[in-house]
Amino acid sequence: FSKRVNAFLSDKESGKILEVKIADKKYELKATDSHGFVYQEIRIDKAVIEKHAVNNFVQITLMNKGGKELSTKVKLVPDKGTTIISDIDDTVKISNVTSKKKLMQSTFMKAFTFVDGMAKAYRESAYEVQFVSSSPYQLYPELCAAFDTEKFPWAQFHMKKVRLTNSSLFDLFKKGTESKPVQIEAIIKRWPNRQYILIGDDGEQDPEVYAGIKEKYPKKIIGIYIRTVSNRKLPDGMSAFKNGKELQKLLKR
């Protein structure tokens, strides 16, 4: 509990200047924002990146002025292919979003638990995976570690900014009708030549959000699969599943 809550209380390190090392070259980034984030586009020749890639992954290293370093790997996603865009809470991770009390318990107090077979379904699909969530970004380190333990494939996480210093903490309990369309459209615009499968649950507004995305991008959305939580009727063109085994059958169609 304390580890997850402390992530919300820590100094967000705004106004810091970092360097990033990619393909043996350093680049200075602009100052971090009030959340400690920095958004910046760096253009690197494709041949240079491919030369340093290992199994489609490239290592990047962040450095601050004090000499501290943090390394990770990023994946080179092809311009064409199929990507799964997936919700997290009650789609792959059991969160009980429809109950505020249970949501708080699953978010801050209990070990993360997952829907049976979902990691295998995503892993064996061989599709790229992008997770979109209304969960706060402060949970990312523990969430990512749990996903690795569960053996989910590599994925990018798109999460909500939440701070204890203002009312946005209550965004934990708000629906994803505002954040998810923005997150999903950003992915589609980033890879406009790829096709997409949208996966969510019927506990809240995933069916409605996905229907709106399908209407806006009819040729790019090739499937919408919804995990059954409340057993409500789904809009036309969507398929229901209960667990990873059932989802695997849908992904193979």
- The tens digit of pLDDT for each residue in 124-164 reads 999 999 999 988 888 888 899 999 999 999 999 999 876 66
Output the pLDDT for position 80.
98
- Three-point CA angle 182, 80, 161, nearest 5°: 25
pLDDT at 3 over 70: no
Dump pLDDT digits (tens) for 63-98. Answer: 987 778 999 999 999 999 999 999 999 999 998 766
Mean of the pLDDT values across residues 240-250?
98
Output the pLDDT for position 69.
92
pLDDT at 108 over 70: no
CA 236: distance to chain centroid?
A: 26
Dump pLDDT digits (tens) for 165-215. Answer: 554 455 555 666 778 999 999 999 999 999 999 999 999 899 999 999 999
Task: Please answer whether residues 200 and 227 qualify as being in contact, where contact means their C-beta atoms are separated by less than 8 angstroms.
Answer: yes
Output the pLDDT for position 202.
95
Output the pLDDT for position 11.
61
Rounded CA-CA distance 250/248 in Å is 5
At residue 61 the predicted structure's pLDDT band, cuts being 50, 70 and 90, is very high
CA dihedral 139, 242, 251, 152 (to 10 degrees): 30
Output the pLDDT for position 158.
94
pLDDT at 9 over 60: no
Output the pLDDT for position 34.
81
Tokens of 160: 């909500």
Cβ atoms within 10 Å of 87's Cβ, excluding its own: 27
At residue 4 the predicted structure's pLDDT band, cuts being 50, 70 and 90, is low
Output the pLDDT for position 140.
87
Output the pLDDT for position 166.
53
Output the pLDDT for position 44.
93
Three-state SS string across 96-150, please?
CCCCHHHHHHHHHHCCCCECCCHHHHHHHHCCEEEEEEEEEHHHHHHHHHHHHHH
Task: Please answer whether residues 27 and 18 qualify as being in contact, where contact means their C-beta atoms are separated by less than 8 angstroms.
Answer: no
Q: Please tell me the number of Cα atoms within 13 Å of 163 on its side-chain side.
A: 8
Amino acid 162 reads V
Domain ranges of the chain: 11-75, 82-251
CATH code that applies to domain 82-251: 3.40.50.1000
